[in-house]
């Protein structure tokens, strides 16, 4: 078996390494293009002299750790309580639409829901006698709680998805049956017997969530505090400042952000060890914890809140996009109008088209490369069970998701400028590919390897070549997961903010960069239009991906799903 990593894994890891190298030199004062011809620690002195830097760093650290802790804990509780039940199947069906909502759009929807003039306060305005929005700082609170809530609303469904994909490999039915035979309650039995096997498979996605939450930018710009802002947001400000000397300080800040993310990952690894120790103590004490009915009921609450927050948030985006004058405390806009759509669509048409082009371009390229990698791995597999990606290859694929974007995309921007490359759609496709391909691989690996190998043997026995079996048998049988992986890749591309902003140099806006830019204006009607367009584009792709298999195989009932 070939022990070298697949070229795709190396291709995805290379921009991260190169980008980090591109940020290290300016961080130590060396960037000849801007007059930095000698190594120096001055960029770090300037960085640490910035007011509120400690608060920004602490906010990023807290966001990364607490978002991960709450999301993983809620995922564990919900899966332990409901795996294999009707409620779990219902939640699974609802994950697709939820995951298709971009982070920025979900953040806008949550802001419209929890703001002092939002829906929640409008619902209680009459009972509480409110005639004006209460004087509360909720969106943009200094502790970043609203930002963390927005992150949890998005990361909880993602972790549920990866847990659902990992469950079959953990053999939960047999393990739970054994736990029940030993007298354990449902929650304790799942936690002790099933969760360790599941967690080993989802560890990299969990680390990716921690890294993303510690360096998030678009959600922070919508829901996070600004005085001071999280470190990643301040870095983007320094990178775009007309004073080019701040590039050195921004590079030093990017290394600080990398250190903070590594600290969050270190904290999480410590939590892993503590959790394993707690499980051993729990098992050694011999308690069976059968009285868990109240806990099982409470376990549904975080998932229900995430679903409800996203659903009501989208409804509010729709209402604000067509609302006329809508004053507090009215629950419904007195007048509905399409004026905001008519005024906004001409200026948003070009970013929307660019989003579609870059999304399909990066998604299709990622799909081809991932299929090539998975097929090579499947053919090289000689074991008894289904093939799996090796831990090394999986780590390389996930590297762009674990290393904070702001730490290496800034370095890529410096190298792009040094190479004399001008912003172009092709350049955006290339940089989006780095972030799209890992999600496409995550979505497609399990179904690709799970397809019964006897289909290939049957084709060979009929005299068909491997190429014919691939095109005429494997791809048609896997049409649904292949199209779903493409839709996920498109949604990931459509939601990219920082790579588009930096590599596009602000000259190639997409619907995401436009929507986030509108956040500072405070015009809820225009924000509603932009955020809805940002949501509807991937939603249309997801819908098409779900309907195409049924249309392609309408004469073959078993191949429609």
- At 318-368, the pLDDT tens digits run 999 999 999 999 999 999 999 999 999 999 999 999 999 999 999 999 999
pLDDT in tens, 50-63: 999 999 999 999 99
- 378 within some domain: yes
**Which residue in the block uniquely carries the two structure tokens 């995550």?**
442
Are 88 and 191 members of one domain?
A: yes
Question: Which pLDDT score is estimated for 556?
Answer: 59
Question: Between vectors from CA 145 to CA 139 and to CA 149, what angle results, nearest 5°?
Answer: 90
Q: How far apart are CA 414 and CA 19, in angstroms?
A: 8
- 280 within some domain: yes
pLDDT band at 477 (very low <50, low <70, confident <90, very high): confident
Question: Which pLDDT score is estimated for 1?
Answer: 45
Are 261 and 354 members of one domain?
A: no
Count of beta carbons in the 10 Å neighbourhood of residue 80: 23
Interstrand relation of 30-31 and 36-37 (parallel, antiparallel or unpaired): antiparallel
Are 301 and 359 members of one domain?
A: no
Last residue of one domain, picked from the residues 331, 350, 378: 331
- 26 within some domain: no
**Which residue in the block uniquely carries the two structure tokens 């078996």?**
1
Are 171 and 67 members of one domain?
A: yes
- 450 within some domain: yes
Q: Is the pLDDT of residue 255 over 80?
A: yes
Q: How far apart are CA 107 and CA 111, in angstroms?
A: 6
- 221 within some domain: yes
* DSSP state at residue 170: G
Q: Which two tokens stand for residue 446?
A: 């399990």
Are 284 and 372 members of one domain?
A: no
CA-to-CA separations, 503 to 104, 160, 365, 413, 430, in angstroms, rounded: 19, 32, 19, 6, 10
3-class DSSP assignment, residue 323: strand
DSSP lists the bridge partners of residue 30 as 37
H/E element, 31: strand 30-31
- 385 within some domain: yes
Are 389 and 256 members of one domain?
A: no
Are 359 and 497 members of one domain?
A: yes
Last residue of one domain, picked from the residues 276, 299, 331: 331
pLDDT in tens, 199-239: 998 999 999 999 999 999 999 999 999 989 999 999 999 98
Contacts of 56 (CB under 8 A, 6+ apart): 228, 229, 230, 231, 234
Q: DSSP labels for 77-121?
A: HHHHHHTTSHHHHHHHHHHHHHHTS-HHHHHHHHHHHHSTTSHHH
Are 415 and 522 members of one domain?
A: yes
Are 504 and 452 members of one domain?
A: yes
pLDDT in tens, 149-191: 999 999 999 999 899 988 988 888 899 899 889 888 899 999 9
1-5, 374-378, 543-547, range with the lowest pLDDT: 1-5
Contacts of 51 (CB under 8 A, 6+ apart): 228
- 24 within some domain: no
3-class DSSP assignment, residue 220: helix
- 148 within some domain: yes
3-class DSSP assignment, residue 551: helix
* Stated length of the chain: 561
61-70, 92-101, 143-152, 498-507, range with the lowest pLDDT: 92-101
Are 358 and 320 members of one domain?
A: no
User: Residues 433, 360, 538, 482: is their CA dihedral positive or negative?
Assistant: negative
Q: How far apart are CA 71 and CA 401, in angstroms?
A: 17
Question: Which pLDDT score is estimated for 112?
Answer: 96
pLDDT band at 258 (very low <50, low <70, confident <90, very high): very high
Are 521 and 457 members of one domain?
A: yes
CATH code, 265: 1.10.3720.10
Question: pLDDT above 70 covers what percent of the chain?
Answer: 96
CA-to-CA separations, 191 to 184, 267, 426, in angstroms, rounded: 10, 21, 47
Count of beta carbons in the 10 Å neighbourhood of residue 413: 24
Last residue of one domain, picked from the residues 286, 312, 331: 331
pLDDT band at 491 (very low <50, low <70, confident <90, very high): very high
Going by C-alpha positions, the residue among 221, 234, 262, 242 that lies closest to residue 48 is 234
Domain of 345 in residue numbering reads as: 338-561
Q: How far apart are CA 70 and CA 59, in angstroms?
A: 16
* Alpha-carbon dihedral angle through residues 342, 346, 347, 349, given to the nearest 10 degrees: 120
DSSP lists the bridge partners of residue 31 as 36
Q: How far apart are CA 317 and CA 63, in angstroms?
A: 25
Mean pLDDT across 490-507: 92
Question: Which pLDDT score is estimated for 198?
Answer: 94
Question: Model's pTM, two decimal places?
Answer: 0.91
Q: Is the pLDDT of residue 560 over 60?
A: no
H/E element, 193: none
Q: Is the pLDDT of residue 2 over 70?
A: no
Three-state SS letters, 446-475: HHHHHCCCHHHHHHHHCCCCHHHHHHHHHH
Question: Which pLDDT score is estimated for 7?
Answer: 80
Q: Is the pLDDT of residue 196 over 50?
A: yes
pLDDT in tens, 407-466: 899 888 888 877 888 889 999 999 999 999 999 998 898 888 887 677 777 777 777 777
More confident: 552 or 64: 64
Q: Is the pLDDT of residue 561 over 60?
A: no
User: What is the rounded average pLDDT for all residues in the chain?
Assistant: 89
Are 480 and 434 members of one domain?
A: yes
What's the number of domains the chain is made of? 2
């Amino acid at each position: 078996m070939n022990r070298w990593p697949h070229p795709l894994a190396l291709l995805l890891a290379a921009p991260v390494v190169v980008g980090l190298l591109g940020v290290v030199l300016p961080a130590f004062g060396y960037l000849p293009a801007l007059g930095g011809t000698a190594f120096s620690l001055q960029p770090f002195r300037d960085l640490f002299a910035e007011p509120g830097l400690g608060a920004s760093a602490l906010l990023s650290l807290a966001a990364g750790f607490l978002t991960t802790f709450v999301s993983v804990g809620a995922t564990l509780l919900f899966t332990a309580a409901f795996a294999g039940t009707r409620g779990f199947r219902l939640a699974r069906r609802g994950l697709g639409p939820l995951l298709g909502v971009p982070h920025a759009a979900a953040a806008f929807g949550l802001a419209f829901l929890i703001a002092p003039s939002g829906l929640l306060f409008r619902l209680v305005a009459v009972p509480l006698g409110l005639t004006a929005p209460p004087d509360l700082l909720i969106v943009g609170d200094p502790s970043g709680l609203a930002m963390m809530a927005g992150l949890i609303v998005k990361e909880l469904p993602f972790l549920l998805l990866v847990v659902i994909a990992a469950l079959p490999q953990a053999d939960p039915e047999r393990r739970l049956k054994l736990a029940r035979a030993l007298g354990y309650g449902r929650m304790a039995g799942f936690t002790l017997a099933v969760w360790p096997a599941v967690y080993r498979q989802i560890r990299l996605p969990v680390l990716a969530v921690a890294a993303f939450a510690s360096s998030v930018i678009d959600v922070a710009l919508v829901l996070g505090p600004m005085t001071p802002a999280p470190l990643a947001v301040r870095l983007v400000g320094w990178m775009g400042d007309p004073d080019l000397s701040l590039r050195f300080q921004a590079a030093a800040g990017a290394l600080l952000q990398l250190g903070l993310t590594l600290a969050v990952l270190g904290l999480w690894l410590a939590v892993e060890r503590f959790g394993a120790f707690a499980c051993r103590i729990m098992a050694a004490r011999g308690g069976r914890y059968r009285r868990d009915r109240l806990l099982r009921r409470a376990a549904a609450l975080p998932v229900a809140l995430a679903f409800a927050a996203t659903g009501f948030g989208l409804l509010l985006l729709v209402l604000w996009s067509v609302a006329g004058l809508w004053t507090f405390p009215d629950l419904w806009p007195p007048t509905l109008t399409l004026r905001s759509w008519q005024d906004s669509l001409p200026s948003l048409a070009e970013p929307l088209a660019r989003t579609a082009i870059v999304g399909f371009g990066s998604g299709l390229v990622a799909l081809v490369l991932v299929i090539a990698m998975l097929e090579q791995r499947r053919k090289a597999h000689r074991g008894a069970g289904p093939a799996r990606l090796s831990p090394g290859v999986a780590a390389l694929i996930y590297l762009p998701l674990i290393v904070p974007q702001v730490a290496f995309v800034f370095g890529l921007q410096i190298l792009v400028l040094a190479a004399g490359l001008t912003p172009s759609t092709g350049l955006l496709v290339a940089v989006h590919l780095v972030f799209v391909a890992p999600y496409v691989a995550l979505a497609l690996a399990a179904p690709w390897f799970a397809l019964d190998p006897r289909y290939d043997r049957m084709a060979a026995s009929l005299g068909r070549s491997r190429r014919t079996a691939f095109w005429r048998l494997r791809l048609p049988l896997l049409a649904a997961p292949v199209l779903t992986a493409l839709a996920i890749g498109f949604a990931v591309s459509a939601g990219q903010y920082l790579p588009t902003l930096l590599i596009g140099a602000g000259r190639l806006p997409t619907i995401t960069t436009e929507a986030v830019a509108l956040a500072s204006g405070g015009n809820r009607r225009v924000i509603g239009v932009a955020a809805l367009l940002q949501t509807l584009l991937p939603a249309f792709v997801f819908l098409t991906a779900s309907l195409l298999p049924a249309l392609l195989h309408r004469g073959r009932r078993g191949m429609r799903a």
